[in-house]
Amino acid sequence: KLRVLSGMQPSGQPTLGNYIGALKNYVKLQHTHDCYFMVVDMHAVTVPQDPAALKEQTESVTALYLAAGLDPNVATVFLQSTVHEHAELGWLMTTLTNMGELERMTQFKDKSAGKDSVGAGLFTYPSLMVADILLYNADLVPVGDDQKQHLELTRDLAQRFNSRFGDTFTIPEPYIPKVGARIMSLDDASKKMSKSSSNAGSYIAMLDAPDVIRKKISRAVTDSGREVKFDPQHKPEVSNLISIYAECSDKSIAEIEAQYEGQGYGPFKKDLAEAVVATLEPIQIRYNEIRQSGELYEVLKQGKERAAVQADAMLKQVKEKMGFIIL
Ligand code: ATP
Ligand code: MG
């Protein structure tokens, strides 16, 4: 079985973009692959997090993993911070990363734009992500389009390590969906939908109540035309909504275009909202059950133990190859 690894940051309320671009694929891959899915809490603290909120968000993301359909007896579900090898290999990878490589990262540019000062961790975070992936010798990494550049860095560093210290790491491939790899903000189709956005109207949270979802979609920016047509270049807002519709229904983009021909945006948005509600409502019901059941910490403990076995063996091998004394 090929190995899969990925993760989501507990940096806010997971969005429909996280679901479509990543989580939905985690669920799909779990039965055919050897899967490791973590909540990357150490990544979340690259921007300031309130301690109580971090804990709540970490529990919430874990519960959403399970509610969306991840089976902890099939996939290994764990918290990044509970497997200390991530931080250790992260440091070693930081030493192998060039400043120029980090300076080119568009996520750093986006997240630091307009800020007076940012933590150094926001800058070096891609090296920790490299470690997250290489620690498990992952073959495939299901991510949204925004993570492509970090995956490239991961591949480069795996190759760099292998050629300097001898064959050690698998070179991982990104697994990026064809539709829905980059869901855009509802208020600005030039920006990706993000859970850390300060404007709650820009995203649909996976836990938004049905009426909130309906309101957000009815307010979503479109254009002054009235054609429901998929044309990301000239109609980015409408195209984004069509992608969401296609991902939340079993309709193709062409079928959606045909269905609303000549009707303007009103009926389209109404049906779209119902498709999103129908996708998220069952997840929300399971989510509430899971939060009430108190099972989360048990799941995470079991995941930690399984992950640590892999991580420990791999880190030892890496340290040995680099010349560290293993006692
Ligand atoms: P943050 O703003 O804190 O970075 P985020 O919404 O970008 O939050 P992450 O935890 O960074 O979420 O990413 C989790 C996964 O979701 C990644 O695989 C990422 O590529 C994917 N993803 C994030 N945003 C989108 C989006 N708008 N469309 C599709 N996939 C996305
Ligand atoms: Mg992100």
Whether 174 and 27 map to the same domain: the answer is: yes
Is the reported ipTM for this assembly greater than 0.95?
A: yes
Expressed as residue numbers, the domain containing 31 is 3-181+294-322
Whether 227 and 110 map to the same domain: the answer is: no
Whether 9 and 142 map to the same domain: the answer is: yes
Q: Where are the alpha helices (DSSP H) in 39-196?
A: 41-44, 51-68, 85-96, 99-103, 106-112, 120-134, 148-165
Q: What's the pLDDT at 60?
A: 98
Q: For residue 34, what are the β-bridge partners?
A: 3
Q: What's the pLDDT at 174?
A: 97
At 221, list the tokens. Answer: 């920016």
Following CA atoms 26, 28, 30, 31 in sequence, which dihedral angle do they give, to the nearest 10 degrees? 180
Whether 15 and 132 map to the same domain: the answer is: yes
Whether 110 and 44 map to the same domain: the answer is: yes
Question: Predicted confidence band at 96 (pLDDT cuts at 50, 70, 90)?
Answer: very high
State the distance from the centre of ligand 2 to the C-alpha of 124, rounded, in angstroms: 14
Q: What's the pLDDT at 80?
A: 98
Give the pLDDT confidence of 148-205 residue by residue, as tens digits.
999 999 999 999 999 999 999 999 999 999 989 999 999 999 999 999 999 999 999 9
Whether 280 and 317 map to the same domain: the answer is: no
Mean pLDDT taken over the chain: 97
> Is the entire prediction scored with pTM above 0.90?
yes
Whether 31 and 135 map to the same domain: the answer is: yes
In a domain, 201, yes or no: no
Whether 162 and 16 map to the same domain: the answer is: yes
Mean pLDDT value of segment 272-278: 98
CA of 182, closest atom in ligand 1: 28
At 304, list the tokens. Answer: 């930690």
Q: Whose CA is nearest to atom 6 of ligand 1?
A: 194
Q: What's the pLDDT at 33?
A: 98
In a domain, 227, yes or no: yes
193 is in an annotated binding site: yes
Evaluate: CB of 188 within 6 angstroms of ligand 1: no
Evaluate: CB of 243 within 6 angstroms of ligand 1: no
Question: Predicted confidence band at 89 (pLDDT cuts at 50, 70, 90)?
Answer: very high
Whether 17 and 35 map to the same domain: the answer is: yes
How far are the Cα atoms of 252, 259, 320 from residue 162, in angstroms, in the given order? 43, 53, 13
DSSP state string for 67-85 = HHT--TTTSEEEEGGGSTH
Evaluate: CB of 269 within 6 angstroms of ligand 1: no
Evaluate: CB of 293 within 6 angstroms of ligand 1: no
Is 28 a known active-site residue?
Answer: no
In a domain, 25, yes or no: yes
State the distance from the centre of ligand 2 to the C-alpha of 262, rounded, in angstroms: 37
Q: What's the pLDDT at 190?
A: 95
Is 195 a known active-site residue?
Answer: yes
In a domain, 187, yes or no: no
Q: CA 98 from chain center: how many Å?
A: 25
Whether 161 and 309 map to the same domain: the answer is: yes
In a domain, 198, yes or no: no
Q: Which residue type occupies 292? A: Q
CATH number, domain with residue 73:
3.40.50.620
Give the pLDDT confidence of 36-71 residue by residue, as tens digits.
999 999 999 999 999 999 999 999 999 999 999 999
CATH number, domain with residue 249:
1.10.240.10
| pLDDT over 90, % of the chain | 99
In a domain, 129, yes or no: yes
In a domain, 163, yes or no: yes
Q: Cβ(145)–Cβ(182) under 8 Å?
A: yes
Give the number of domains in the chain.
2
Instruction: Return contacts of 178-181, CB within 8 angstroms, 24+ apart.
Output: 179/243, 179/246, 179/247, 179/253, 180/20, 180/21, 180/243, 180/244, 180/246, 180/247, 181/21, 181/144, 181/145
In a domain, 307, yes or no: yes
Q: How many residues does the chain have?
A: 327
Helices and strands, number each (H, E), in the chain: 14, 5
State the distance from the centre of ligand 2 to the C-alpha of 194, rounded, in angstroms: 7
Whether 151 and 78 map to the same domain: the answer is: yes
Q: What's the pLDDT at 191?
A: 96
Whether 167 and 220 map to the same domain: the answer is: no
